[in-house]
C-alpha cells in the first residue's frame, strides 16, 4: 500500500496552529536582547556596566558566567523549536522534561519577582540590593529592565508551549482529581522522599522567612548593607516556592485532598522544586566565583541555605517523577475498552 498513516514532517509543520507558531516566534525574539548584550560583553564592551561595578572585579569568573548564560539562553531557543517542530515528538521524555524543569525553575522567580519589585518601588520601596547599593552600582537600571522583561516573555511563551505540547503527549497523566487515583497513599519511596523534603526544608525556609522579615542572622556584611525592598521581595518568594514544592510533594505522596485536581499538586511540585533547586544551585555557583569584596562572600549559613534548597528541590522532583512514572505504567497496563 503506497499511502502512509503517519503524516510527513512537512505536513505536521504546516498543520502547526498559528498560536503555537506565534508563541515560538515570541520566545525566540525575547532571547535576542539578552544574547546581544552578552555577546557585546564577551567581545569586550562594557555597555550597561558602570565603571566601578563589582562585576569588573571578577575577570575570568565573569567571562565563564557570560558564556554559561549565553548557552542557557540558546537552550531556550532549542526548546521552543523542540516543542513546535515534528522531530520534537520523538524526543525521549527525560531529554525534554529535564531542561524544561531547569528553565521553569530559573524563570519562574523572575516572572513573579520583577513585577512585584516594580510594584513595591511604585509604593515607595527602595531598590537597595538589586543594584548593589548606590556606592557600587552593579548594572545600569535599563539593563535590568531589558533583561528581566525578556526573561518574563521567554518564561510565559515557553511555558505556554510546553503546556500545549505536554497536553497533547501526556495529558492523560494529570487528568482527573486526586480521588480518582488508586486507593491509599503512594509507594513507600514517594512518602519517604516527601517527608525528607519537608524536614530538610525547615532550615532554608526558616532563614528565608527570617531574612524576609528583616532579620540579619547568617547574612554576610555585604548582603546586610545592600538590603532593600527588592531583597525582601525575593526572600519572600523563595520562602513561598519552598512551601509550594513541599506542599506539592506531600499531596502527591499522601493524597489527602481527594477533591483537588491532580494537575494542582503536580504544578506546585514541578514549579516549586525547579525554582528552589535551580536558584539554590545558581546562587551557590555564583558565590564560588573568586574575586570581589570579601564582605560580599556568602557565609556558611547562606551556603547551607542554598544547599538545603537544592536538596529539597531534587527530592520533590523525584516525588513528581515517580508519581508520573507510576501513573504512566498504570495507563499502559489498563486494558483498552
Sign for the pseudo-dihedral over CA of 38, 26, 171, 16? negative
**The pLDDT of residue 62 is above 70:** yes
Separation between Cα atoms, residue 146 and residue 152, nearest integer Å: 10
Q: What does the pLDDT read at residue 288? A: 80
Q: What does the pLDDT read at residue 134? A: 43
**The pLDDT of residue 330 is above 90:** no
**The pLDDT of residue 171 is above 70:** yes
Backbone phi and psi for residue 216, each to the nearest 5 degrees, phi listed first: -120, 0
Cα-based distances in Å from 91 to 13, 98, 102, 158, 165: 16, 12, 17, 17, 12
Sign for the pseudo-dihedral over CA of 252, 257, 261, 267? negative
The proportion of the chain whose per-residue pLDDT surpasses 90, expressed as a percent, equals: 67
Rounded average pLDDT over 66-87: 94
Among 44-53, 273-282, 303-312, the minimum mean pLDDT is found in 44-53
Cα-based distances in Å from 22 to 28, 73, 226: 10, 19, 40
**The pLDDT of residue 216 is above 60:** yes
Separation between Cα atoms, residue 37 and residue 108, nearest integer Å: 22
Of 81, 92, 98, whose CA–CA distance to 25 is shortest?
81
The proportion of the chain whose per-residue pLDDT surpasses 70, expressed as a percent, equals: 87
Rounded average pLDDT over 155-160: 97
Contact between 13 and 86 under an 8 Å Cβ cutoff? The reply is yes
Q: What does the pLDDT read at residue 7? A: 34
Q: What does the pLDDT read at residue 187? A: 81
Average pLDDT of the chain, as a whole number: 87
Backbone phi and psi for residue 257, each to the nearest 5 degrees, phi listed first: -125, 80
Separation between Cα atoms, residue 334 and residue 173, nearest integer Å: 13
**pLDDT tens track for 284-297:** 988 887 766 677 78
User: Which residues have a Cβ under 8 Å from the Cβ of 251 and sit 6 or more positions away?
Assistant: 178, 257, 260, 264, 265, 268, 269
Rounded average pLDDT over 150-158: 97
Angle at 148 between CA 42 and CA 139, to 5 degrees: 55
CB 285: neighbour CB atoms within 10 A? 13
Amino acid at each position: 500500500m503506497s499511502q502512509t498513516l503517519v503524516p510527513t514532517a512537512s505536513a505536521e509543520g504546516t498543520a502547526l496552529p498559528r498560536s503555537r507558531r506565534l508563541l515560538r516566534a515570541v520566545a525566540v525574539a525575547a532571547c535576542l536582547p539578552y544574547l546581544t548584550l552578552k555577546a557585546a560583553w564577551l567581545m569586550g564592551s562594557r555597555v550597561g556596566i558602570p565603571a566601578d561595578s563589582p562585576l569588573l572585579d571578577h575577570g575570568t569568573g565573569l567571562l565563564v558566567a557570560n558564556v554559561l548564560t549565553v548557552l542557557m539562553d540558546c537552550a531556550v531557543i532549542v526548546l521552543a523549536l523542540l516543542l513546535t517542530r515534528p522531530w520534537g515528538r520523538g524526543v525521549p521524555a527525560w531529554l525534554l522534561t529535564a531542561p524544561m524543569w531547569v528553565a521553569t525553575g530559573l524563570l519562574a522567580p523572575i516572572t513573579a519577582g520583577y513585577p512585584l519589585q516594580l510594584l513595591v518601588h511604585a509604593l515607595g520601596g527602595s531598590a537597595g540590593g538589586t543594584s548593589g547599593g548606590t556606592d557600587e552600582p552593579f548594572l545600569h537600571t535599563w539593563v535590568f529592565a531589558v533583561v528581566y522583561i525578556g526573561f518574563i516573555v521567554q518564561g510565559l511563551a515557553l511555558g505556554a508551549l510546553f503546556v500545549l505540547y505536554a497536553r497533547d503527549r501526556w495529558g492523560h497523566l494529570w487528568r482527573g482529581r486526586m480521588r480518582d487515583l488508586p486507593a491509599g497513599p503512594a509507594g513507600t519511596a514517594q512518602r519517604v522522599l516527601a517527608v525528607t523534603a519537608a524536614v530538610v526544608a525547615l532550615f532554608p525556609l526558616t532563614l528565608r522567612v527570617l531574612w524576609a522579615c528583616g532579620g540579619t542572622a547568617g547574612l554576610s556584611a555585604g548582603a546586610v548593607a545592600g538590603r532593600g525592598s527588592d531583597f525582601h521581595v525575593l526572600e519572600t518568594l523563595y520562602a513561598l516556592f519552598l512551601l509550594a514544592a513541599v506542599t506539592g510533594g506531600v499531596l502527591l505522596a499522601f493524597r489527602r485532598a481527594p477533591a483537588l485536581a491532580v494537575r494542582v499538586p503536580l504544578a506546585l511540585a514541578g514549579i516549586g522544586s525547579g525554582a528552589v533547586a535551580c536558584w539554590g544551585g545558581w546562587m551557590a555557583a555564583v558565590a564560588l566565583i573568586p574575586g570581589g569584596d570579601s564582605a560580599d562572600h556568602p557565609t556558611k549559613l547562606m551556603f547551607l541555605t542554598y544547599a538545603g534548597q537544592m536538596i529539597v528541590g531534587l527530592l520533590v522532583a523525584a516525588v513528581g517523577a515517580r508519581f508520573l512514572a507510576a501513573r504512566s505504567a498504570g495507563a499502559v497496563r489498563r486494558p483498552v475498552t
